[in-house]
Copies of this chain bind each other. A is one copy, B any other.
Amino acid sequence: MSLFHTHRARFEGAQAACRERFCWSPFPELPAKVPDAAQAQARGLAAFHSHLGQGGTRAFDLGQPGRIGELGEEVSPYTRQPLGIRYPQADIDVLFAAATAAIGNWAAATIDTRIGVLMEVVDVVYRCHLFEIAQSVMHTAGQSANMAYAGSGVNALDRAIEALVYADQAMRAVAPRARWERQFGPSKIVLDKTYRLVPRGVAVCFSCASFPTWNAWPSMMASLATGNAVIVKPHPATVLPMAISVRVFRQVLQAAGFDPNLVTMALDSSSEPIGKLLVRHPQTAMVDFTGSVLFGQWVERNAHPALCFTETAGCNTVVLESCDDLDAALRSLATTLCMFSAQMCTSPQNIYVPRQGVRTPQGTVPLDEVARRLADAVAALTGDPKKAAMILATIQSDQTLALLQKMQAAGEQRGRVLLQPRPYAHPEFPDARTSTPLMLQVGKTERDLYGEERFGPISFVIACDDGPDALRQATTDVRQFGGLTAFLYSTDEPFIAQAEAAYAQAGAQLTINLTGAMPLNFAAAYSDYHVTGLNPAGNASLTDLAFVASRFRITQSRRPAPASTSNA
């Protein structure tokens, strides 16, 4: 049985979900529900430990060509100890040559073959490497075990499959051949036409420090499914999850009879970055970039003639105008502000509240009280170290701690500190880099303070004139600084309709009046479109047809049909 047939039912399930966008996943949401969960977790932990230097260093072998040295500077946010893993440093010209050489057979394979092999990659990651990758995400990105399993594991795999579904759809829209007959004057011309899908070439896929697999897996799948090769450029702080991924891709490709150099890794160090070299390399046909606004904008400006698909970051906004149950709304907001210490591209930052307060069935609650109750809700979630560990996890980098200090000082001068950040003692990892959130209350005049992404657990309650002013401020943030998600609480249906239209224009995905157990910024593969491409938070959406349709091109040849078949 071919790999395509092996995975056909799962693929068809994903196709139906993409079409109708209902809730679906072939994977269990919780680690405990994985078959043989305890054993699988133990194996994953052991596999993770086998990569570590254990005080010294240990080489991670990728089996890829062009080795010119080794690099590795990862430090666990949980132990603050170096992982001690040394990865191959590659001559990038050699990687490009190897990637280019690998494309031929892969591009010539059928769509079914490529989809089958890539679904096998998904399956091998799921069955054999999920907990190993989860551990590696914990000890590089600093996520909690549950988030590493879900957000960086099965949800990212769902997004990988989703990209395959769209790639498949775009490719199948092209007829492989046609018979074309037309009269030209007295004579009939009968042509047989053949249409070929030709990949662009080599894609460079940048993955980020805090959520490495989330966009990288679907981006890699989009390029590979359409016949291209991929060079992965991980953030030097978060390499291991991508190194394991690259190795799995290579192994599955090779086992299926293809050149493993279709997927390689180009690593750099924070002191000697190679990102610009990769983007400007003459053999770069496409760039997928997830990372900082600053470099993302450089990529967008400089990728030409390569195509580029970016997701950077934004000022995600909340408009809290009125609600039926203020406590429930504040609990949901507090949870979302704490989730992975707001180191998610979907975390809210700027919370706009009318100066006169928030209307509720119990009367209007004054702004200051709303701000205090929100801060109390955050404090309640983070007061107990065990609960804090589950939700806040760790702070990925020292820079974020420094930013917290700086923003606290600015907040003290220019507004009110609603909640001071402080380290909390992680129950399992006493040396973990942690912080509870910083919350500030400011006026609209402090726009330079909140008018950009402040990465990490930093949020602002901002006093506005009224609901329409809050909406105007919020959507201006989105247009000007970017925005992926947005959150609205209102009981006023005309105002909701206005907000839907305004956020649609600004290009942020809006969640309205949601309370309860779901994190507000939860993004469901197959159902939620991630990033719109309409504002500075990124130029692409994962995953829509536009994300895949230009990764291949169509060429054709045509010739007179054989006389015996043409009735000419």
Please list the residues of chain A having a beta carbon within 8 angstroms of any beta carbon in chain B. 19-23, 29, 169-170, 173-175, 178-187, 189, 191, 193-196, 198, 200, 300-301, 304-305, 496, 500, 503-505, 507-518, 524, 527-529, 532-534, 539, 541, 544-546, 549-550, 553-560
Chain B residues within an 8 Å CB radius of A558 = 509-512, 514, 528
Query: In the assembly, what is the distance between CA of A355 and CA of B20, in Å?
Result: 61
Query: In the assembly, what is the distance between CA of A127 and CA of B48, in Å?
Result: 71
Question: Cβ of B532 and Cβ of A554 under 8 Å apart?
Answer: yes
Query: In the assembly, what is the distance between CA of A550 and CA of B539, in Å?
Result: 10
Q: Sample 7 A-B pairs with CB under 8 A, ordered by A number.
A: A22-B181, A180-B524, A198-B504, A507-B553, A514-B558, A514-B560, A541-B554
9 further A-B pairs in the complex, CB-CB below 8 A; given A20-B175, A198-B534: A170-B546, A180-B524, A182-B518, A194-B500, A196-B504, A200-B534, A301-B304, A500-B557, A528-B558
Chain B residues within an 8 Å CB radius of A170 = 545-546, 549
Query: In the assembly, what is the distance between CA of A188 and CA of B524, in Å?
Result: 15
Query: In the assembly, what is the distance between CA of A186 and CA of B516, in Å?
Result: 11
Question: Cβ of A175 and Cβ of B19 under 8 Å apart?
Answer: yes
Question: Cβ of A181 and Cβ of B23 under 8 Å apart?
Answer: yes
Query: In the assembly, what is the distance between CA of A186 and CA of B30, in Å?
Result: 13
Question: Cβ of B193 and Cβ of A557 under 8 Å apart?
Answer: no
Query: In the assembly, what is the distance between CA of A185 and CA of B559, in Å?
Result: 62
Nearest CB in chain B: distance from A196 CB, A: 5
**A178 and B500 in contact (CB under 8 A), knowing A546-B550, A553-B534, A559-B512?**
no
Query: In the assembly, what is the distance between CA of A546 and CA of B171, in Å?
Result: 11
Query: In the assembly, what is the distance between CA of A555 and CA of B475, in Å?
Result: 14
Chain B residues within an 8 Å CB radius of A503 = 555, 557
Who on chain B is nearest to A552 by CB?
Answer: B546
Query: In the assembly, what is the distance between CA of A518 and CA of B504, in Å?
Result: 49
Nearest CB in chain B: distance from A37 CB, A: 17
Question: Cβ of A557 and Cβ of B509 under 8 Å apart?
Answer: yes
Query: In the assembly, what is the distance between CA of A305 and CA of B500, in Å?
Result: 25
Which one of B196, B516, B529, B554 contacts A544 once the chains associate, using CB atoms below 8 Å?
Answer: B554
Question: Cβ of A544 and Cβ of B174 under 8 Å apart?
Answer: yes
Question: Cβ of B524 and Cβ of A198 under 8 Å apart?
Answer: no
Chain B residues within an 8 Å CB radius of A545 = 170, 173, 545, 549
Chain B residues within an 8 Å CB radius of A178 = 20-22, 527
Nearest CB in chain B: distance from A19 CB, A: 7
Query: In the assembly, what is the distance between CA of A527 and CA of B189, in Å?
Result: 14
Chain B residues within an 8 Å CB radius of A511 = 557-559
Query: In the assembly, what is the distance between CA of A509 and CA of B195, in Å?
Result: 9
Chain B residues within an 8 Å CB radius of A22 = 178-181
Question: Cβ of A189 and Cβ of B516 under 8 Å apart?
Answer: yes
Nearest CB in chain B: distance from A472 CB, A: 17
Question: Cβ of A556 and Cβ of B510 under 8 Å apart?
Answer: yes
Question: Cβ of A549 and Cβ of B557 under 8 Å apart?
Answer: no
Interface centre among A504, A509, A510, A557 (most CB of B within 10 A): A557
Which one of B183, B516, B527 contacts A184 once the chains associate, using CB atoms below 8 Å?
Answer: B516
Question: Cβ of A187 and Cβ of B516 under 8 Å apart?
Answer: yes
Chain B residues within an 8 Å CB radius of A524 = 180, 182
Question: Cβ of B517 and Cβ of A529 under 8 Å apart?
Answer: no
Who on chain B is nearest to A511 by CB?
Answer: B558
**A191 and B514 in contact (CB under 8 A), knowing A529-B554, A532-B198, A553-B532?**
yes
Chain B residues within an 8 Å CB radius of A169 = 173
Ranked nearest first, the 7 interchain pairs of A and B with the lowest CB-CB distance are A184-B517, A512-B559, A21-B178, A546-B550, A546-B549, A510-B557, A545-B549
Who on chain B is nearest to A181 by CB?
Answer: B23
Nearest CB in chain B: distance from A219 CB, A: 16
Chain B residues within an 8 Å CB radius of A528 = 193, 556, 558
Chain B residues within an 8 Å CB radius of A544 = 173-174, 549, 554
Which one of B198, B512, B527, B559 contacts A513 once the chains associate, using CB atoms below 8 Å?
Answer: B559
Chain B residues within an 8 Å CB radius of A504 = 196, 198, 555, 557
Question: Cβ of B559 and Cβ of A534 under 8 Å apart?
Answer: no
Query: In the assembly, what is the distance between CA of A533 and CA of B21, in Å?
Result: 32
Query: In the assembly, what is the distance between CA of A432 and CA of B340, in Å?
Result: 75
Query: In the assembly, what is the distance between CA of A512 and CA of B198, in Å?
Result: 19
